[in-house]
């Protein structure tokens, strides 16, 4: 502790960045969540000797930059699809994302220092302001809640707690458990208090433990995974290869109750295929299909999910509404387009067009599906916005953009969180993987691995009763956080007043 007290700010920032990098090892695909808890437990010591809120804010920013630099390292992958045009932007994109998202954490650290006095009060306020920063990160400027601290629990028995807490509530619990561990260094019996939040989390996990087996609907869904690399996906020489591969998987027996193709797996024209819709109808042979496609109309292109009924007709269409900034559209597009800056996945001038919002598709005997196209599965608030209760979530995605590193696994982890939050099963179909059937507790029933072509027929689970989180959203976590900030701040003021007396 003496070393930290006498260390210059830059040295402590460097240490904070390294600890942030360690914290990111709790996320997929590494999932060494104890390292995240240990790293977070060290944070109170980093800001204990910070003179003033600005220094604390710089340490928080450095910690976040290290964390997000590793957590979002996959973000460079899209820039190498067209390397000649975009590769030079990759390091700037990663560091601007890491540094920009870290501003939320820096602000939380600074505010905790402003309003606190003693170590315990400072730690309590840091937990609360940090949670508030994470809530804000999920909403401001369309939001980007990727790599939230709660995501370290995806492959653990803690995951079903999301049905009660939601992601922001679980982030609050995670920070409380981890930062309380710093009390181990406290003198006397106080050190034993460090273990109480962890024990409470263990008890809560045991209380919501799901059954080993769940009820199935009796319906079977085929997940089709063509494994089309992004640099070949729209190449005229390869388009018929991937289309015919999906046709082959669609026609294979025995027949399921629904067949799902991934995001953007069909366009209005397929090179080398005279009549793709006729081939599709013949291969389906009366089985309904849900297919991700690029849909043109007079306004531009939409990233859509089309439902083909048993007659082979498109009866319902959902248009993606939460587009990827700088990926599917450019913010302030008129200005930046004039500078020659284009969206990475842009196929039309001005970017892709957005749909009206979340909506349910009626799939007949299978029930009602809530479609999520790619990035939309990252936003729990969008899932909650849909009117009515779905029978299951249906995500189609093209994770070829994320490469073969951490991105596809982190995207899958967030899909599992959405299923657990809503107490709904999820059908997830990805171009390059991981395609999976996820049960209402967030567990994977069956899957196709990353980087493989194939199909798999899996049973569709029954939904559970609506979860607490599906009825309340993030309001409870926000209320508890704000109430906690007021309560801890008043406690600090009261203690200071007593000391003056």
Number of domains forming the structure of the chain: 2
| Active-site residue, 279 included | no
Using a 10 angstrom Cβ sphere, with 0-12 exposed, 13-18 middle and 19 or more buried, the burial of residue 222 is buried
385 and 417 share a domain?
yes
Output the pLDDT for position 86. 82
Residue 340 domain flag: no
pTM value?
Answer: 0.93
> What does each C-alpha distance from 9 to 43, 54, 58, 181, 485 come to in angstroms?
14, 11, 8, 24, 27
Strands 368-373 and 361-362: antiparallel
> DSSP H helical segments within 311-396, as ranges?
333-338, 380-385
Q: Are residues 50 and 155 in the same domain?
A: yes
Regions in the chain scoring below 70 on pLDDT? 1-6, 116-118, 186-190, 268-269, 271-272, 327, 329-351, 495-501
- On whether both 83 and 127 belong to a single domain, the answer is yes
Residues 249 and 133 in one domain: no
Q: Give the other-Cβ count within 10 Å of 258's Cβ.
A: 22
Angstrom distances, CA of residue 222 to CA of 6, 266, 286:
62, 17, 14
Return the H-helix or E-strand segment holding 357. Answer: none
Determine the pLDDT at residue 307: 97
Helices (H), 401-474: 406-422, 468-472
- Same domain for 229 and 201, yes or no, is no
459: which strand partners?
A: 220
**pLDDT given for residue 350 in this prediction:** 53
Judgement on whether residues 110 and 253 belong to the same structural domain of the protein? no
pLDDT tens-digit series, residues 64-76: 999 999 999 999 9
Q: Which of 31, 77, 134, 263 is catalytic?
A: 263
Rounded Cα gap, residues 356 and 288, in angstroms: 25
Domain match, 109 and 250 both: no
What pairs with residue 293 in β-bridges? 266, 304
CA distance 371 to 467: 19
Q: Is residue 468 part of a domain?
A: no
Exactly one of 77, 134, 219, 374 is catalytic; name it. Answer: 374
C-alpha 435: how far from its chain's center?
16
Sequence-distant (6+) residues with CB within 8 A of 141 are 325
Task: Give a yes or no: residue 86 inside a domain.
Answer: yes
Q: Which residue of the set 233, 320, 353, 368 is catalytic?
A: 320
Residues in the chain: 501
Strands 444-448 and 435-438: antiparallel
The answer as to whether 342 is a domain residue is: no
**Chain centroid, CA 407 distance in Å:** 10
In terms of Cα–Cα distance, which of 478, 475, 472, 473 is closest to 380?
473
Are residue 273 and residue 182 in the same domain, yes or no?
no
Question: Is the same domain home to 100 and 16?
Answer: yes
Which structure tokens are listed for 431?
């171009």
Instruction: Answer yes or no: is 339 within a domain.
Output: no
Domain ranges, residue 58: 2-210+473-500
CATH number where 367 lies: 3.60.110.10
Asked whether residue 139 falls in the same domain as residue 191, the answer is: yes
Per-residue model confidence (pLDDT) at position 274: 75
Which element (helix H / strand E) includes 183? none
Q: What stretches of 427-474 show up as alpha helix (H) in DSSP?
A: 468-472
Which pairs count as long-range contacts for 75-79, CB under 8 Å and 24+ apart, including other chains?
75/407, 77/401, 77/402, 77/403, 77/405, 77/407, 78/230, 78/327, 78/344, 78/345, 78/401, 78/402, 79/344
Phi, psi for 44 (deg, rounded to 5): -55, -30
In this structure, are residues 101 and 64 in contact, taking their beta carbons and an 8 Å threshold?
yes
Do 480 and 428 belong to one domain?
no
Given CA atoms 283, 285, 288, 294 in this order, what sign does their dihedral have?
positive
Q: Which residues lie below 8 Å from residue 303, measured CB to CB, with a gap of 6+?
A: 263, 264, 292, 294, 295, 319, 320, 323, 328, 352, 373, 374
Q: Is 213 in the active site?
A: no
Whether residue 328 lies inside any domain: the answer is no
DSSP 3-state of 228: coil
Residues 231 and 196 in one domain: no
Residue 344 lies in a domain: no
Dump pLDDT digits (tens) for 257-287: 999 999 999 876 676 677 888 999 999 999 9
Q: Which residues partner with 428 through β-bridges?
A: 395, 436
Residue 304 in tokens: 């859509």
> Which pLDDT score is estimated for 212?
83
Q: Is 374 a catalytic residue?
A: yes
**Domain presence at residue 197:** yes
Residue 46: which of 34, 37, 57, 35 has the closest Cα? 57
């Amino acid at each position: 502790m003496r070393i930290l007290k006498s260390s210059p700010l830059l040295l402590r920032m460097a240490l904070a960045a390294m600890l942030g990098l360690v914290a990111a090892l709790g996320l997929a695909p590494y999932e060494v969540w104890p390292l995240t808890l240990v790293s977070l437990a060290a944070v109170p010591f980093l800001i204990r000797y910070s003179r003033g809120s600005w220094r604390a804010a710089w340490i928080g920013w450095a910690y976040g930059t290290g964390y997000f630099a590793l957590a979002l390292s996959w973000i460079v992958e899209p820039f190498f699809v067209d390397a000649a045009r975009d590769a030079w932007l990759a390091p700037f994109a990663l560091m601007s994302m890491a540094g920009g998202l870290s501003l939320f954490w820096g602000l939380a650290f600074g505010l905790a220092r402003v309003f606190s006095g003693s170590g315990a009060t400072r730690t309590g306020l840091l937990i609360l302001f940090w949670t508030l920063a994470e809530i804000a990160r999920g909403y401001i400027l369309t939001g980007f809640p990727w790599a939230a601290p709660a995501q370290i629990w995806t492959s653990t028995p803690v995951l079903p707690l999301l049905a009660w807490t939601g992601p922001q509530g679980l982030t609050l619990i995670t920070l409380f458990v981890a930062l309380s561990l710093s009390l181990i260094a406290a003198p006397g019996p106080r050190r034993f208090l460090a273990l109480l939040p962890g024990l409470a989390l263990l008890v809560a996990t045991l209380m919501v433990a799901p059954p080993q087996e769940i009820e199935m609907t009796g319906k079977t869904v085929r997940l089709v995974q063509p494994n089309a690399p992004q640099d070949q996906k729209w190449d005229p020489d390869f388009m018929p290869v991937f289309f015919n591969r999906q046709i082959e998987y669609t026609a294979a027996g025995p027949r399921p109750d629904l067949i799902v193709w991934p995001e953007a797996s069909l366009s209005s024209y397929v090179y080398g295929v005279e009549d793709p819709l006729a081939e599709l109808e013949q291969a389906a042979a009366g089985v309904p299909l849900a297919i991700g496609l690029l849909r043109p109309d007079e306004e531009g292109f939409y990233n859509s999910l089309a439902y083909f009924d048993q007659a082979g007709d498109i009866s319902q269409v959902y248009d993606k509404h939460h587009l990827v900034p700088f990926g599917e559209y450019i913010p302030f597009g008129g200005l930046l387009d004039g500078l020659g800056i284009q969206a990475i996945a842009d196929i039309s001038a001005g970017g892709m067009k957005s749909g009206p919002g979340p909506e349910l598709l009626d799939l007949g005997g299978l029930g009602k599906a809530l479609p999520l196209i790619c990035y939309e599965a990252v936003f729990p608030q969008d899932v909650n916005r849909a009117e009515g209760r779905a029978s299951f979530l249906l995500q189609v995605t093209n994770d070829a953009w994320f490469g073969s590193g951490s991105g596809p696994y982190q995207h899958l982890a967030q899909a599992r969180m959405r299923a657990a939050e809503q107490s709904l099963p999820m059908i997830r179909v990805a171009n390059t993987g991981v395609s999976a059937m996820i049960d209402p507790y967030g567990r994977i029933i069956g899957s196709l691995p990353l980087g493989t072509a194939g199909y798999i027929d899996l049973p569709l689970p029954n939904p559970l009763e609506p979860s607490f989180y599906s009825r309340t959203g993030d309001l409870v976590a926000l209320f508890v956080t704000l109430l906690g900030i007021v309560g801890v701040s008043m406690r600090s003021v009261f203690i200071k007043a007593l000391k003056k007396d």
